[in-house]
Amino acid sequence: MAVELLVINATLPDGRTGQDIAVSGGRILEIAPGIAAEAGRVIDAGGLLVSPPFVDVHFHMDATLSLGIPRLNRSGTLLEGIALWGELKPLLTPEAVAERALRYCDLAVSQGLLAIRTHVDICDDRLTAVEALLHVKRTVAPYIDLQLVAFPQDGYFRAPKSAENLLRALDMGVDVVGGIPHFERTMADGAASVKALCEIAAERGLRVDMHCDETDDPLSRQVEALAYETQRLGLQGRVAGSHLTSMHSMDNYYVSKLIPLMAEAGLHAIPNPLINITLQGRHDTYPKRRGMTRVPELRAAGVNVAFGQDCCMDPWYSLGGADMLDVAHMGLHVGLMTSREAMTFCFEAVTTNPARVMGLEGYGLAAGCHADFVLLQARDPIEAIRMRATRLAVVRRGKVIAETPPKRASLFLDGRPGMVDPSDYAPPVG
Ligand code: FE2
């Protein structure tokens, strides 16, 4: 069989070194040391890390790159962000949303970010953003797997036409059912919204991803209803709770009951470290809570945990750069996950774990998978996070779709000649 691309001498995230990757027909034909094949193109990885692509499982593409329109979020708070989004929404046009989203997708590709689940606000009766992002989804399909979530930002019951708009959005082709139960008028309405939305997903055979308990209120317990409905409707493995920040502040005894319920229901947990650390704890004096959900404890109970970016240059967050290594870096620090094993998990939390949440077909580094991968200027996942490693080459379906030159410094201070990789420090093995 014709080999279109051969990557030689790669290190894989599981630690295997000296691996060659042969690609044919847009899929991985074989991964093994010393593959002898004539190839259309050969990339010498030079012992560096080849990873499956980055996956961002929680994003808002309808708002991205809108920073400053119609004004800046001066306080940097969640509440001003929500108010600002309310001002921006009536001004949106499909053309402007699509143009910003496509610019973002170019950035994402350059960062090796090739799968994105984006929430799309369905509370605008015109469904402007839905229309725009469905167009973007089709346009970027050769490069990025884009999954859309019908997100009732202003509440499923609380906003007058949410329920109707949500069904319209699903009929138009939106993939996933969203929700925001903690934002409904009462706890009871929140639980009722979870029930209604999970039933829609079960009827239509769709996945669910709710903004759930994005608050510092320890009594915000909508995730309990989410786990219950998931179990009741047989949606195990298809439902995600995004944010879950109230868990940070919950009573430990209650959490000791809650986490096993989440594990039993096969819920996925999606913390968003950059946003959680900046938006939560804002009503605290000192000590200020971190707001990120209980990642090590969820992992220990067998819950699949994936990190999302959430925002990039929008009403809620002025920073961000489609860099999932930045997200992993923040999650690692906020969660105090500094053991070797936990640091490696943080890399999985922006690659394989979110791919499971999205149900991506053919994702991974194995024979038969899509030939989608990223060559990083790092020797292992921990170094990739440490250096927010340069994406030397981004490959999609066997074709190089982005390249970035390696980071180098010209150092002559100690008498060494030439160009030196500034990350060139090999930690002791073991
Ligand atoms: Fe979000």
Q: Note the pLDDT of residue 77.
A: 85
| SS3 at position 39 | strand
Q: Where are the domains of the chain?
A: 2-52+364-424, 54-358
Instruction: Please tell me the distance between residue 248's alpha carbon and the centre of ligand 1 in angstroms.
Output: 17
Query: How does DSSP classify residue 301?
Result: T
CATH of domain 2-52+364-424: 2.30.40.10
**Tens digit of pLDDT for each residue in 270-323?**
999 999 999 999 999 999 999 999 999 999 999 999 999 999 999 999 999 999
Q: Note the pLDDT of residue 12.
A: 98
Q: What is the mean pLDDT of residues 329-335?
A: 98
pLDDT band at 82 (very low <50, low <70, confident <90, very high): confident
Q: Is 131 an annotated catalytic residue?
A: no
Q: Pick the more confident residue, 203 or 415.
A: 203
Instruction: Please tell me the distance between residue 414's alpha carbon and the centre of ligand 1 in angstroms.
Output: 48
Domains 2-52+364-424 and 54-358 share a fold: no
Instruction: Please tell me the distance between residue 193's alpha carbon and the centre of ligand 1 in angstroms.
Output: 17
Instruction: Please tell me the distance between residue 272's alpha carbon and the centre of ligand 1 in angstroms.
Output: 8
Q: Note the pLDDT of residue 119.
A: 98
- Return the amino acid letter for 340: R
Instruction: Please tell me the distance between residue 316's alpha carbon and the centre of ligand 1 in angstroms.
Output: 9
Taking 3-state DSSP, the helix, strand and coil percentages for the chain, each rounded to the nearest 5, stand at 35, 20, 45
Q: Which CATH number fits domain 54-358: 3.20.20.140, 3.30.9.10, 3.40.710.10, 3.60.40.10?
A: 3.20.20.140
Instruction: Please tell me the distance between residue 49's alpha carbon and the centre of ligand 1 in angstroms.
Output: 30
Active site residue: 184, 214, 229, 383, which one? 214
Give the 3-state secondary structure of 219-243. Answer: CCCHHHHHHHHHHHCCCCCCEEEEE
Q: Note the pLDDT of residue 136.
A: 98
Instruction: Please tell me the distance between residue 12's alpha carbon and the centre of ligand 1 in angstroms.
Output: 31
**Tens digit of pLDDT for each residue in 230-265?**
999 999 999 999 999 999 999 999 999 999 999 999
Choose among 238, 70, 81, 64: nearest CA to 136: 64
Q: What is the mean pLDDT of residues 46-69?
A: 96
| SS3 at position 338 | coil
pTM over 0.85: yes
- Looking at the predicted structure, is the pLDDT value of residue 430 above 70? no
Instruction: Please tell me the distance between residue 117's alpha carbon and the centre of ligand 1 in angstroms.
Output: 11
Q: What is the mean pLDDT of residues 349-372?
A: 98
185: exposed, middle or buried (Cβ count in 10 Å: 0-12, 13-18, 19+): exposed
Whether a cis peptide bond, with omega within 30° of 0, leads into 33 is: no
Instruction: Please tell me the distance between residue 419's alpha carbon and the centre of ligand 1 in angstroms.
Output: 42
- Looking at the predicted structure, is the pLDDT value of residue 411 above 70? no
